[in-house]
C-alpha cells in the first residue's frame, strides 16, 4: 500500500530539518524523496499533497513544484572541477578531456533528468 511519512534529521551544521519520503507500493518498493523542509508545517503540507496524489492513483510529479532554473550537468561539472585543488596538473588535464567529451552531449541537461538509461546510452 502506498504511503508517505515525515522524518526528522539534523544537517551537518546541526540544523533540524524534515524530510518527506513516500512509497508507491508496499514495503518492497524503494522510498522516494518528496522534499526536505525547514519547518514541520511545510513538511506536513507536502505530505498531505503526496497522500492526495497517491489516493487518486497518481504518481506525485515533483517536477511541477521545483525551481524553474534547475542545475545542469555543466554547472555541476564546473563547480566540481574548480573544487579539485588537491590533484596534479596531469589529472586536471584528464578531467578536462573527459568533460570535453561529455558536456557537449548532455551538459545542458538538468541533473534530475539524467538517469541510468541516458548514462548507458553514452557508454555504448
pLDDT mean values, one per 10 residues, the chain (124 residues): 93 94 93 95 96 94 72 91 91 93 91 87 86
Instruction: Tell me which residue range forms the domain holding 95.
Output: 73-123
Q: Mark whether 8 and 58 lie in a shared domain.
A: yes
Supply the Cα-derived Rg of the chain in whole angstroms. 19
Q: Mark whether 15 and 60 lie in a shared domain.
A: yes
User: Can you give the pLDDT at residue 66?
Assistant: 58
CA dihedral 15, 20, 26, 32 (to 10 degrees): -90
Helices (H), 31-115: 40-55, 73-83, 89-106
Instruction: Write the CA distances from 15 to 8, 40, 55, 98, integer angstroms.
Output: 11, 13, 33, 37
Cell numbers standing for residue 102: 561529455
Q: Mark whether 79 and 105 lie in a shared domain.
A: yes
End position of a domain, from candidates 38, 65, 92 = 65
Q: Mark whether 58 and 82 lie in a shared domain.
A: no
Q: What own/partner pairs with CB < 8 Å and gap ≥ 24 does 49-54 have?
A: 50/4, 50/20, 50/22, 51/4, 54/2, 54/3, 54/4, 54/22, 54/24
User: Can you give the pLDDT at residue 67?
Assistant: 61
For 102, residues 6+ apart whose C-beta sits below 8 A from its C-beta are 73, 77, 122
Q: Mark whether 60 and 79 lie in a shared domain.
A: no
Q: Mark whether 104 and 84 lie in a shared domain.
A: yes
End position of a domain, from candidates 65, 88, 113 = 65
As for how many domains the chain has, the answer is 2
Q: Mark whether 82 and 60 lie in a shared domain.
A: no
State the pTM of this model.
0.53
Amino acid at each position: 500500500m502506498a504511503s508517505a511519512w515525515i522524518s526528522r534529521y539534523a544537517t551537518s551544521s546541526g540544523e533540524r530539518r524534515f524530510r518527506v519520503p513516500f512509497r508507491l507500493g508496499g514495503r518492497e518498493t524503494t522510498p522516494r524523496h518528496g522534499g526536505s523542509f525547514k519547518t514541520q508545517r511545510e513538511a506536513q503540507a507536502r505530505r498531505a499533497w503526496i497522500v492526495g496524489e497517491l489516493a487518486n492513483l497518481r504518481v506525485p510529479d515533483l517536477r511541477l513544484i521545483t525551481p524553474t532554473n534547475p542545475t545542469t550537468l555543466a554547472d555541476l561539472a564546473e563547480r566540481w572541477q574548480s573544487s579539485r585543488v588537491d590533484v596534479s596538473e596531469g589529472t586536471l588535464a584528464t578531467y578536462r578531456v573527459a568533460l570535453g567529451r561529455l558536456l557537449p552531449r548532455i551538459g545542458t541537461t538538468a541533473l534530475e533528468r539524467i538517469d541510468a538509461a541516458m548514462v548507458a546510452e553514452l557508454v555504448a
